[in-house]
A and B are shown apart, each in its own frame.
Chain A
């Protein structure tokens, strides 16, 4: 199983884990879920789109990270997944 992780559970950060999958599956657990759930899913989706990834499993444990943090953690997690299994 190919897997990659990036981030932390510190306040204002997010811990993102990606795994290979046959479809796109995005799971978000956030301390600001009531206010920003849709926006977090959207930034993950658009980051995947921009990276032309159409099959991956993403788990985001969010502690109030801003969009650019989520994007950076996601891209790093994907990079680590690929590098580790080259």
Chain B
């Protein structure tokens, strides 16, 4: 088998291990020059003129307006109208509503894309091989690292800001598109060469603005920066499926037996249906046993807000509000605290939030016999997601649990090898499925603890064989070996290659 390094351009280093960053020094470029005064403009076109924007530049965007974001489309439209070529769009995530970018990719206006997550028509177009330059996928913490180190140099950060004040400060707390915290935009704010806030709501004065005017060069007022309905994550629904409920119950049982749910603990969960059910069961247990958590982190959901308001969770560390209830809570609750992408998951931060987690519960599109996880592509190699905070939290948390059905629409989720490697197996400790619980053999401590408590543990190989008995052995596919992108691990090394869709 060929090695990953055979496929890498010379300036890319292959992934070594998830703690290799500890041997490296943090690299920091200097923060952007502080602006003397903020200039207010009334159209995107004016700011393109004022900054003399030209071919080949890199623009950055955040995804706090999720599937309701209009800013990427607005900037794309202006790039297209002016016929600018070879632009790179560095967006923290791309969603189905960014479909208008596909034409810009086809026509060569946009030739490079960097994102932590991509889903929808743009992801499809990239998977088809339409993007001229390789697509680079970071983690949430890794993107902060890439920006502060200069690996990702941003010419202009176009930051959607739900409200701005007269001094040029910005916040996500107010306005018709209020989306809550703006954690993913903070590295862009500090390190882009130029910063432009795009807003549709102006106030006299903003207290404790997340976006400080000292970094802001221009503010552009437009009609609408987003649809608040689209801000709500499509994945955020508690599962009612009995199989999913069983997986969630077993997960909480395992966490409890490991003594992880105790006074002052900390947790994070993904936004998948099973993860949300896990939160329900954790909450029940906390109420029954009178346990309070020190913090919950991540994309904060309405579920966590309720727990916070009921006194069950002391602090919410929130990089990104997942729903409007969370956005409202951030505006009203003092202990609902905004954190930047760097404070959340940058491996080079002295003590990022992910490193303080007792446990995290995550999903998987595929998991293999070495516990490697793929949440980036489907089993045919088409891009359907990306790490987001997956690899960051998996590394930071003391215990990382992956929850998944054994089969999804016939496809076995446990593979001999994942199609695409997102999170290394060395950071995945426990797999909970409806047919059994497997523990990564490198975590002998957890294995022994659970066995002592009478919990039955099965081998991941046996779970895979069981899924083959139920569904049949899936045909092995031969890859078309056209590289279209790279999966960049949080430390900046390349952990896998993305291929054109089969």
Contacts and interface: CB of A to CB of B under 8 A. Distances in A.
Contacts of B502: 34
B467 to A, nearest CB: 11
A79 B474 CA distance: 30
A14 B109 CA distance: 43
Interface string A14-34: 000000000000000001101
A66 B380 contact: no
Contact of A34 (B409, B471, B472, B477): B477
B409 A11 contact: yes
B320 to A, nearest CB: 29
A45 to B, nearest CB: 15
B411 A32 contact: yes
Interface string A22-56: 00000000011011111100000000000000000
A4 interface: no
A63 B409 contact: yes
B409 A35 contact: no
Contacts of B477: 34-35
Nearest to A38: B475
A6 interface: no
Contacts of A63: 409
A36 B472 CA distance: 8
Contact of A12 (B379, B409, B474): B409
B475 A35 contact: yes
B470 interface: yes
Interface string B458-480: 00000000000011101101000
A39 B472 contact: yes
A5 interface: no
B70 to A, nearest CB: 32
Contacts of B409: 11-12, 31-32, 63-64
Q: What secondary structure prevails in chain B residues at the interface with A?
A: loop
B410 interface: yes
A67 interface: yes
A19 B235 CA distance: 40
A29 to B, nearest CB: 14
Q: Contact residue range for chain A? A: 10 to 19
B290 to A, nearest CB: 40
A65 interface: yes
A57 B475 CA distance: 26
Contacts of A31: 409
Interface string B370-382: 0000000001100
Nearest to B408: A64
B411 A64 contact: yes
B410 A65 contact: yes
A35 B381 CA distance: 13
Given A31-B409, A65-B410, A36 B470 contact: no
A45 B408 CA distance: 25
B410 A36 contact: yes
Interface string B471-495: 1101101000000000000000000
A64 to B, nearest CB: 3
Contacts of A37: 475
Contacts of B472: 36, 39, 67
Contacts of A12: 409-410
Contacts of A35: 379, 410-411, 474-475, 477
Given A34-B379, A35-B474, A39-B472, 17 more contacts: A11-B409, A12-B410, A32-B409, A32-B474, A34-B475, A35-B379, A35-B411, A35-B477, A36-B410, A38-B475, A63-B409, A64-B408, A64-B410, A64-B411, A65-B410, A66-B410, A67-B472
27 contacts: A11-B409, A12-B409, A12-B410, A31-B409, A32-B409, A32-B410, A32-B411, A32-B474, A34-B379, A34-B380, A34-B477, A34-B502, A35-B379, A35-B410, A35-B411, A35-B474, A35-B477, A36-B472, A36-B475, A38-B475, A39-B472, A64-B408, A64-B409, A64-B410, A65-B410, A66-B470, A67-B472
Interface of B: 379-380, 408-411, 470-472, 474-475, 477, 502
